[in-house]
Structures are given as C-alpha cells and as structure tokens.
Amino acid sequence: MATGDFHLHSTCSDGVRSPTWVMETAAANGVRVLALTDHDTTEGLAEAGTAAKQAGVRLIPGIELSVDLDGADAHLLGYGFDIEHGPLQAYLSEQRDGRVGRMVRMVRVLAEHGVTVQVERVLEIAGEASVGRPHVARALVEAGYVESVAEAFDTWLGDGRPAHITRLRLTPAEAIALLHEAGGAVFVAHPLFLGEDYKGAVATLAGMGLDGVETYYKHYDAETVLAHETLSEELGLGRSGGSDYHGLGNPNDREIGDIPFPDEAVATFVAFLNSCGVHMLRQAGAV
C-alpha cells in the first residue's frame, strides 16, 4: 500500500462511502497523507477534515473538475486551494444546479429507448451528493436493465452513448486559472483517458499552466508509469498518484492506497505542493 493517495471520492459526489469512512479506511490501509477529490464540490472536506484529525492522517483539500478539451471530456485535479474562494464556490454552485437538469434529461432519453428509471429514485440514490451519471447508472442496475455500473456506462451513459448528455463546462485554461486564483495547484487526472495522443493533450494543458500529471494511477503497470514519469520530466511538471476510489466495484478498481506510488514520490509530491505555496486545510486535521 502507498502512504499517499490523492484521488478519492465520497458520497458527496459519486462515491459510495462517506468522507469519514474514506479517511478511516485510508488510515487503516497505511495511507498517511491524502486528498478527497469529489467531482465539482468541496462539501465533503469539513467532515473529512474532522475524520482525518481523529485518524491521524494529513488531509489536503482536493477537487476534480470536468473540462472541455477540444470537444472531449478531461478531468483536472485541484489541490491545496482555499475552499472559501468566492469565484470557485460560485462556479461549483452553478455546476450543482446544472447537474440536476442534466440528470432529468438523461432519464427522459432513457425512457424514449424503453428504459424507465425514476428521477426521484436517482435523487434518492444520490442523497446529499452532487447528482451525476454514476447515480443514474446505479438506478439502471437496481431496475435490472444492466448488471453493473460499468455496463450502464458502456451501453447507455458513456461518452457517445444514447443517454450521454453534455453539460456546460469550463475550458481547461479557465479551470486552471480559477484554481490558481484560489491558491491551488492543478494536475491532469488519468491522462490515458485523453486518448491515443494523450501526450500531446498534456503538453497542450501544460501550455495553459498545468502544474502536474497523475503519474501513479491505480492500475498503471511499470511501463505506463515510466511513460508518465518521462512525460512529466520533459514538460517540467509535478507528479501525483491516486486510486480514483469510488467503491463501485468496477473492473480495474483498487482499494484506497493500493496504487504504484513509491514513498519517495509521495514525499516529492507533497514537497511540490508546499513549494507552490498552496493552501492546506488548517482546520480539522491537515497539518
């Protein structure tokens, strides 16, 4: 197990475990420093901070923002920002409101294809979280239309699938600038998801002010890790690592901390954040 994990999700977005559970489990797995990176929300950080303090682990504020990179969906991880930054919270509020409307449109499209799930049930599954595709996917599993969340995405909800509804998103440059204004550092999540020319995409993001690359990602093998290390070195970018834990039981999922992230790389990442002068969550457990 790695001593650091900087890509984790909770019930405040599309994960299935509470922020407290995530912190406690991370500590039990030997993780000593971590970031909760829920999609488009910071709502889980207060609870996570309290739990982190009690569990004796260091919490760095995190978030995962979706951006539009030349028509493709890209994800950026923000670290160490001021969670009370006004413009950031205003944007996140807009995104939460837009997610509900997007979900309603998904449900309507599914019904047009003879696949019926209820808006109310999707909202119940989401609970207090910012509703998204994984919640619709879980409703599809529950209704018996698919056997897994992965199948729901492959058949109905994934990019280019019948019920995939795009939403308004920032450009990468806008998102990077927003997180920088909030005092944070910005890393691109799981670069392989950007397609065959992921190296070119990362280089483009670097030109927009990107700070680093998620290099030590859950199921990456040694060859892939080396390719990302080389890319980050060539572009002068930092390196992060994470399990992208959701608890959904999808193929290639890993437990918290079960990632190819060497201790020295964890220390280098944290030192990188410190050198950037990023905000650390001072209250409740981040030191």
- pLDDT tens for 100-157 read 888 999 999 999 999 999 999 999 998 877 788 989 999 999 999 999 999 999 999 9
Residues listed for the chain: 287
Q: Which residues of the chain have pLDDT under 70?
A: 279-287
pLDDT tens-digit series, residues 193-209: 999 999 999 999 999 99
Strand partners, 33: 4, 58
Start-to-end Cα distance in the chain: 22
Q: What phi and psi, each to the nearest 5 degrees, are found at residue 61?
A: -55, 135
Residue 40 in 3-state DSSP?
coil
Q: Which helix (H) or strand (E) holds 230?
A: helix 222-235
Its sign, for the CA torsion 93, 98, 104, 106, is negative
Residue 133 in 3-state DSSP?
helix
Choose among 126, 240, 134: nearest CA to 191: 240
C-alpha pair distances (Å), 125 with each of 20, 162, 252: 19, 22, 23
Q: Which residue carries 């997180």 as its tokens?
A: 179
Please tell me the number of Cα atoms within 13 Å of 62 on its side-chain side. 33
Q: What phi and psi, each to the nearest 5 degrees, are found at residue 63?
A: -160, 155
